[in-house]
Amino acid sequence: MAQLLMDDGYELVENPKKAGVLIVNTCGFIGPAKEESVKVLKELAKQKRNNQLLIAAGCLTQRYGVEVARQVPGIDGILGTRRWMDILQVVNKLRATPHPEPFYHLPDAATVGADERRIIRASVAGASAYLKIADGCRRPCAFCAIPLIKGTAVSRQMDTIVAEARELREMGIRELILIAQDTTDYGHDLGMKDGLAVLLEKLTDEVPEMDWIRVMYSFPGYVTDRLVDVMASRKQILPYLDIPLQHAHPNTLARMKRPANMEWVHTTLAKMRAAMPDPSTLPMVAGQRLSTLPLVTGQRLVIRTTFIVGYPGETEEEFQALMDFVQEIRFDRVGAFKFSFEPGTTSEALGDPVPAAVKDERWERLMSVQQNISLQINQSYVGKTLDVLVEGYDNGLTIGRSYRDAPEIDGLVFAEGKAEIGEMVKVKISGAMAYDLTGTLLQTPIKL
Ligand code: SF4
């Protein structure tokens, strides 16, 4: 939306007071996100000047546009996520016509679709860019409202994605983060098999200068051997697996309508770890580490997952199975959500029977176990050297991320010394906390 507006002569401003058009891209995924969206809209509506327009866009308005407008007096326009590309039309209409009542732009559209108006579908932060490869979802997860909001999955054309990656590289982007509701489903609607692996091969072949390519949101059950091979053998693809498992007890997973075959999970994680092992654990032969594997990256696989606690019917025994699983697998990163009841989803009939206090307590227990694991894993990096992409500088410290850290959700590396934003530097790690690492800059930036 920002790019469409900028193409039409609009400029981004940091301060909402200086904006002519205020757009809030709302989230409708879970209760706390909905509340935050409405809170921001209310704050902006309260301070809105007469000549400003306030537009509520995104997922929450796609499902609950009328309700949002009712809760926030002062909204001028409502735009759903399926037709985000009509933003200029909505702004122009609001500018041209008096609108005592909010203007709704929620036309019938079954999916987000492929009408992209020839703009790059990327969100850029420093030297990193999130690039959308598909939108919508066709999975049946019982707790999730996303298929109701976005419709089924629609993949973007591979050539378009590759062209955008190249353009982003030319703009100075060094880390490309591929996103979709389910990246492993990429290409099924284009008639492709193993579409994500094919896309990664093409991206690494055709944009070899991109330093890092990170894949987010891999659906369990669809991590294929070819995907594992690509990740293990292509230097640019970070050995970072983001696989939201949601739970570890087969009964809970079955109620969630998620893949419930825990044997598959164990086998796949073991297979991936074997394909991308910790180089320091490989046997030594004649003073050299012996690897019979296509270990190009030389970095161990990092695994991130997310879980839901307090799902309807989750017994203490089921929760304990989740705790045991977390202790056994020793994930590098774990995110946890407390179950949020979403009307209209297939889990609606199950209600929300687990008391809030039980959800809180289970969340605390899970996170505290994971914090210890995370700290121990971080401590194993002390004395090692990591490539770090610089994101900022504060109080004499360079702040950045290594391949182990996706932006915003994972940890950071704090290094003594100064480097510029967007540079890739080597940092010798000297300290570890539960989420972050500390160290010292080793040398001048790694040149492009
Ligand atoms: S795969 Fe993700 S987005 Fe799709 S229905 Fe399941 S939880 Fe929702």
Structure confidence by residue, pLDDT tens digits, 40-57: 999 999 999 989 999 999
Which residue of 29, 132, 135, 139 sits with most ligand 1 atoms within 8 Å of its CB, as the best mutation to test the pocket?
139
Specify the residue with its C-alpha closest to ligand 1, atom 6: 141
pLDDT tens digit sequence for 156-214: 999 999 999 999 999 999 999 999 999 999 999 999 999 999 999 999 999 999 999 99
**Using 50, 70 and 90 to split pLDDT, how confident is the model at 293?**
very low
| Distance between Cα 135 and ligand 1 center (Å) | 11
Beta strands in 106-215 (DSSP E): 122-125, 128-132, 134-135, 154-155, 175-179, 212-215
Return the closest-CA partner of residue 75 out of 113, 27, 21, 33.
21
**Residue 437 pLDDT greater than 80, yes or no:** yes
The pLDDT, as a whole number, for residue 294 is: 43
Q: What rounded mean pLDDT belongs to the chain?
A: 94
The encoded tokens of residue 70 equal 């009712």
The pLDDT, as a whole number, for residue 118 is: 86
The encoded tokens of residue 68 equal 């949002």
**Using 50, 70 and 90 to split pLDDT, how confident is the model at 281?**
confident
How far apart (Å, rounded) are the C-alpha atoms in residues 293 and 242? 22
Sheet containing 302-309: order of strands? 240-242, 302-309, 333-338
Instruction: Estimate to the nearest angstrom the gap between the alpha carbon of 189 and the chain centroid.
Output: 22
How far apart (Å, rounded) are the C-alpha atoms in residues 340 and 167? 39
Mean pLDDT of 349-362: 98
Q: Which residues line ligand 1 (CB under 6 A)?
A: 137, 139, 141, 144, 146-147, 181-182, 219
| Distance between Cα 400 and ligand 1 center (Å) | 30
**Residue 447 pLDDT greater than 60, yes or no:** no
| Distance between Cα 29 and ligand 1 center (Å) | 10
**Using 50, 70 and 90 to split pLDDT, how confident is the model at 443?**
confident
The pLDDT, as a whole number, for residue 295 is: 44
Specify the residue with its C-alpha closest to ligand 1, atom 2: 181
* Phi, psi for 289 (deg, rounded to 5): -70, 130
The encoded tokens of residue 40 equal 């921001």
Which residue of 135, 141, 152 sits with most ligand 1 atoms within 8 Å of its CB, as the best mutation to test the pocket?
141
Per-residue b/e over 302-332, b at no fewer than 16 CB within 10 Å?
Answer: bbbbbbbbbbbebeeebbebbeebbeebebb
Ligand 1 atom with minimal separation from the 182 CA: 1
How far apart (Å, rounded) are the C-alpha atoms in residues 51 and 331? 51
Question: Which ranges of 348-402 would DSSP assign to H, the alpha helix?
Answer: 356-379
Ligand 1 atom with minimal separation from the 246 CA: 7
pTM of the model as a whole: 0.94
The pLDDT, as a whole number, for residue 124 is: 93
**Residue 380 pLDDT greater than 90, yes or no:** yes
| Distance between Cα 146 and ligand 1 center (Å) | 6
How far apart (Å, rounded) are the C-alpha atoms in residues 159 and 202? 9
Work out the end-to-end distance of the chain between its first and last CA atoms, rounded to an integer number of angstroms.
31
The pLDDT, as a whole number, for residue 116 is: 86
Helix (H, G, I), strand (E, B) or coil at 410: coil
Whether 425 and 445 have beta carbons less than 8 Å apart is answered as yes
The pLDDT, as a whole number, for residue 285 is: 60
Return the closest-CA partner of residue 180 out of 170, 190, 167.
190
Ligand 1 atom with minimal separation from the 258 CA: 6
Residue of higher predicted confidence among 444 and 182: 182
Residue 244: partners with Cβ closer than 8 Å, 6 or more residues away: 217, 219, 220, 305, 306
| Distance between Cα 243 and ligand 1 center (Å) | 12
Mean pLDDT of 113-129: 91
Specify the residue with its C-alpha closest to ligand 1, atom 8: 144
